[in-house]
């Protein structure tokens, strides 16, 4: 199996988790803007709960120093794990 690129910037990984959840659970929009805002907020809250439950959020947060050290070691090359 080909190794996946390691994102140095943590938000890239976190945003990909949110995008994946939203793709699997699309919001159903209606004609009421207030209702759409409520639905989107609720869906984002569900995404947050799902990510915190099923993904290694603490590991992601704690891995930044190691990721930065590896980036320096690789002299800025795209990191792979």
Interval 15-49: pLDDT, tens: 999 999 999 999 999 999 999 999 999 999 999 99
Q: What pLDDT is attached to residue 78?
A: 64
Q: What pLDDT is attached to residue 19?
A: 96
| Domain total of the chain | 1
Rg of the chain over all Cα atoms, to the nearest angstrom: 17
Task: Give pairs for 21-25: CB < 8 Å, separation 24+.
Answer: 21/46, 21/47, 21/50, 21/51, 22/47
- Check residues 72 and 15 and name the one with the higher pLDDT: 15
Any idea what DSSP says for residue 79? P
Q: Is the pLDDT of residue 2 over 60?
A: no
Residue 11 lies in a domain: no
Residue 53 lies in a domain: yes
Quote helix, strand, coil % in the chain, to nearest 5. 65, 0, 30
Average pLDDT score over the chain: 85
Residue 34 structural domain? 29-81
Q: Is the pLDDT of residue 4 over 60?
A: no
Q: Is the separation of the CB atoms in 74 and 13 below 8 Å?
A: no
């Amino acid at each position: 199996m080909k190794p996946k690129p390691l994102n140095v910037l943590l938000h890239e990984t976190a945003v990909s988790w949110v995008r994946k959840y939203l793709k699997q659970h699309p919001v159903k929009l209606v004609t009421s803007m207030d209702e759409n805002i409520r639905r989107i907020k609720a869906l984002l809250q569900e995404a947050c709960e799902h990510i915190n439950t099923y993904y290694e959020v603490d590991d992601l947060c704690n891995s930044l120093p190691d990721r930065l050290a590896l980036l320096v070691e690789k002299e800025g090359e795209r990191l792979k794990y």
